[in-house]
C-alpha cells in the first residue's frame, strides 16, 4: 500500500501520500480532433463490412445476372430511404478509406503526418460525400 496513490484535490493542489504537486506542474494534454476522425473510420469500417457487400451484390451481380431488372433498381433508388442508405454507405466508406490512406501514407513519409495530408484525404472524402448528396437529391 506504500506506492498506492491517494489523490485528493485540496485547495488547488493534488495531494499524494508523500509529496504535493501543484496544478501548474501537471501537464495537460492538448486537445485533438483525432477522436472524431477515428469515429468516422470505425463507422465506415462497420458499414463497409456489413452493408457494402449487400449493395455490391444487388448492383454488381443481381442486375447483370438478370435477377433484378434495371428498372426495378431505378425504382428502388428513387425511394428516400434507399437514397439515405446509399449516402451513408458511400460517405462513411469514403471516410474510412481516407483515414486508412492518411495513416498508411504516414508510415511511408514524415511529410504525410502533417495537416496537408489530412486536408487532402479528408477533403476528398468530403468532396465525394458532397457529390453523393448532390446526385442523390437531384
Say how far apart CA 11 and CA 22 lie, in whole Å.
10
The domain locations on the chain are 34-137
Task: Fill in the DSSP letter of residue 16.
Answer: -
23-49 pLDDT tens trace: 555 566 667 778 888 888 999 999 999
CATH number, span 34-137: 1.20.1300.10
Whether 84 has a pLDDT exceeding 80, the answer reads: yes
Say how far apart CA 45 and CA 102 lie, in whole Å.
15
Name the grid cell of 12: 488547488
At residue 114 the predicted structure's pLDDT band, cuts being 50, 70 and 90, is confident
Amino acid at each position: 500500500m506504500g506506492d498506492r496513490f491517494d489523490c485528493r484535490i485540496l485547495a488547488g493542489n493534488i495531494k499524494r501520500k508523500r509529496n504535493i504537486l501543484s496544478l501548474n506542474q501537471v501537464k495537460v494534454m492538448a486537445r485533438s480532433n483525432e477522436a472524431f476522425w477515428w469515429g468516422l473510420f470505425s463507422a465506415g469500417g462497420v458499414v463497409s463490412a456489413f452493408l457494402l457487400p449487400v449493395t455490391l451484390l444487388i448492383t454488381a451481380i443481381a442486375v447483370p445476372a438478370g435477377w433484378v431488372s434495371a428498372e426495378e433498381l431505378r425504382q428502388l433508388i428513387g425511394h428516400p430511404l434507399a437514397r439515405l442508405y446509399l449516402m451513408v454507405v458511400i460517405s462513411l466508406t469514403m471516410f474510412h478509406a481516407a483515414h486508412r490512406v492518411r495513416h498508411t501514407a504516414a508510415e511511408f513519409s514524415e511529410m504525410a503526418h502533417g495537416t496537408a495530408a489530412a486536408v487532402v484525404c479528408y477533403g476528398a472524402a468530403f468532396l465525394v460525400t458532397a457529390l453523393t448528396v448532390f446526385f442523390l437529391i437531384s
